[in-house]
Amino acid sequence: MEEAQRLKNLPPYVFAELDRLKAIEYKKGADLIDLGMGNPDVPPPPEVIEALISAIREPSNSRYPTFDGCDEFRAAVVSWCKKQYGIKVDFESGIIPLIGSKEGLVHFALAFVNPGDMTLVPMPAYPAHFRGTILAGGEPYVLPTSSGTGFLPNLDEIDPEVARKAKILFLSYPTNPTAATADRAFFEKAVAFAKKHKIILVHDFAYAEIYFEGKKPISCLSIPGAEEVCIEFHTLSKTFGMAGWRVGFVVGNLKLIATLKKIKTNLDYGLFSAVQKAAVCAMNLSGDYLERTRRIYQERRDIMVDGLNKLGCKTQKPSASMYVWVPVPSGFDSTSFSMRLLEKTGIVVAPGPAFGDLGEGYVRFALVDSKERISAALSRMEKAGIRWS
Ligand SMILES: Cc1ncc(COP(=O)(O)O)c(C=O)c1O
């Protein structure tokens, strides 16, 4: 019963190991403050919950959905993308609903990467950006990023031979885990680079709506001509606190969309119609839900960053996402520090290598618990003598 080589090629999935360690601590009765996984705790809008309940009562929604999504879903995506990002989406063939964007990202790699192909991945990265390539038998080529360059890859430095061979460039700004953002000039450069080298440009826009102080992230598809090379992945997981509902969508280049659809038609049956109806309600919602959500994450960010800095950690407040990415205190590596935190304080964080080797020396705090619990986490660290300097 030997597993396939493609699974053996994958690096360990750190979050699975984290779950195992958490289960042991919970069994001992520990009161864990779990800031490990980016698992949003802000509840979805009540109207969206009601929309799901009434959609479930409608018998036709229990039948298989269509791959393209229902008309209302596609209409809602078209108007959401126009309203939020100023981008034009083709109603007929420019959208596929996704069972979460992770599913779409990994299937996209399976749809385009042949064994031996190369993809370009700025690291540290959200694991699906490189694991899909590995599953497909390809090779993710690491574009190193660091705090010194705002965690943006230097596209000018890529070896022309690598650029010639590469099939996909994966970008995602605001970024998980580093919380870095990219401006219009960077996206213009990325689009020009992709066009010059005939590379597919994937933009994962998972944190499109989690930003602070009015610093709204831009869609890669808002760059003129981007639709010739680019496909953009969106999700309702973080925007509307719907991570467990598994709903996202992809928009952009029509040929890329058609190919992704080809692989998905062989793998799944599309997105549960009742969830589509709830997503329509979310995207059409008026009111201040998004503003309130941003305020919640911003307050948590402020408490976390101010508190860490009081413990000697010199870190800046990120302008987007729900993460605080910090170097570990000297004398530790990512794993030993994460273990120390878990054992001495009951705080769960994500060790940096979960996001590739270049994450070594860092941990990520996800802002997925209340202000009070984040303050409690900081007090626990102080009491346990955990300091950066
Ligand atoms: C950058 C990024 N993309 C995609 C996802 C997955 O989102 P979804 O719930 O839509 O699969 C995450 C989840 O943490 C993420 O951080």
Task: Render pLDDT for 168-204 as a digit per residue (tens, 0 to 9).
Answer: 999 999 999 999 999 999 999 999 999 999 999 999 9
Q: What is the pLDDT of residue 285?
A: 96
Asked if residue 101 and residue 240 are part of one domain, the reply reads yes
Query: Cα dihedral sign for 63, 105, 19, 373?
Result: negative
Question: For residue 165, what pLDDT is reported?
Answer: 92
Task: Specify the residue for token string 């420019």.
Answer: 94
CATH of the domain at 120: 3.40.640.10
CATH number at residue 333: 3.90.1150.10
What are the tens digits of pLDDT across the range 59-83?
999 999 999 999 999 999 999 999 9
What's the one-letter identity of residue 121? V
Same-domain pairing of 299 and 322: yes
Residue with the smallest CA separation from ligand 1 atom 6 is: 102
CB of 102 closer than 6 angstroms to any ligand 1 atom: yes
Point out the domain boundary residue: 284, 299, 325. Answer: 284
Confidence of residue 14 (pLDDT cuts 50, 70, 90): confident
Average pLDDT over residues 79-96: 97
- At residue 306, does pLDDT exceed 80? yes
Ligand 1 pocket: which of 41, 232, 234, 237 to mutate (most atoms within 8 A of CB) = 237
236: helix, strand or coil: coil
Residues 249 and 303 in one domain: no
Domain-terminating residue out of 259, 284, 309: 284
Distance of CA 276 to the CA centre of its chain: 20
- What pLDDT digit, counting tens, does each position of 103-128 carry? 999 999 999 999 999 999 999 999 99
Q: How many helices (H) and strands (E) does the chain have?
A: 13, 12
CA 184 – CA 378 distance, rounded (Å): 36
pLDDT at 13: 77
pLDDT value at position 19?
A: 83
Query: Which 8-state DSSP code applies to residue 230?
Result: E
Per-residue pLDDT at 164: 92
Looking at the fold, whether 191 and 139 belong to one and the same domain comes out as: yes
Q: How many domains does the chain have?
A: 2
389 assigned to some structural domain: no
Model pLDDT, residue 38: 95
Given this model, what pLDDT does residue 83 score? 97
Same domain, 314 and 225: no
Whether residue 263 sits in one domain with residue 319: no
Q: Is 308 in the pocket of ligand 1 (CB under 6 A)?
A: no
Please tell me whether residues 277 and 161 are part of one structural domain. yes
Q: What is the pLDDT of residue 102?
A: 97
Regarding whether 305 and 236 lie in a shared domain, the answer is no
Query: What pLDDT shows up at residue 12?
Result: 79
Do 51 and 12 lie in a common domain? no
| 253/201 Cα distance (integer angstroms) | 10
> Could you give the CA distance from residue 354 to residue 99 in angstroms, rounded to a whole number?
23
Verdict on whether the full-model pTM lies above 0.75: yes
Closest atom of ligand 1 to 105 CA is: 4
Residue 157 resides in a domain: yes
Pocket test for ligand 1, best of 99, 102, 209 (most atoms within 8 A of CB): 102
Strands 248-252 and 230-235: antiparallel
Q: Quick one: average pLDDT of 206-212?
A: 98
pLDDT tens per residue across span 357-382: 999 999 999 999 999 999 999 999 99
Task: With a cut of 80, say whether residue 262 has pLDDT above it.
Answer: yes
Residue closest via CA to ligand 1's atom 14 equals 38
Domain presence at residue 255 = yes
Q: Based on the fold, state whether residues 86 and 116 are members of the same structural domain.
A: yes
Segments forming the whole domain that contains residue 370? 5-43+289-383
Atom of ligand 1 nearest to the CA of 235: 10
Residues 330 and 350 in one domain: yes
Q: Which of 229, 256, 284 is the last residue of a domain?
A: 284
Percentage of residues in the chain with pLDDT exceeding 70? 100
State if residue 40 touches ligand 1 by the CB under 6 angstroms criterion: no
Which of 37, 203, 204, 207 is the best mutation target for the ligand 1 pocket, counting ligand atoms within 8 Å of the beta carbon and taking the most?
Answer: 204
User: Are 69 and 97 in contact, with CB atoms under 8 Å apart?
Assistant: yes
Q: Which atom of ligand 1 is nearest to the CA of 204?
A: 3
**235 ligand 1 Cβ < 6 A:** yes
Q: Region 246-262: what's the mean pLDDT?
A: 98
Q: Do 20 and 140 reside in the same domain of the chain?
A: no
Residue 388: inside a domain: no
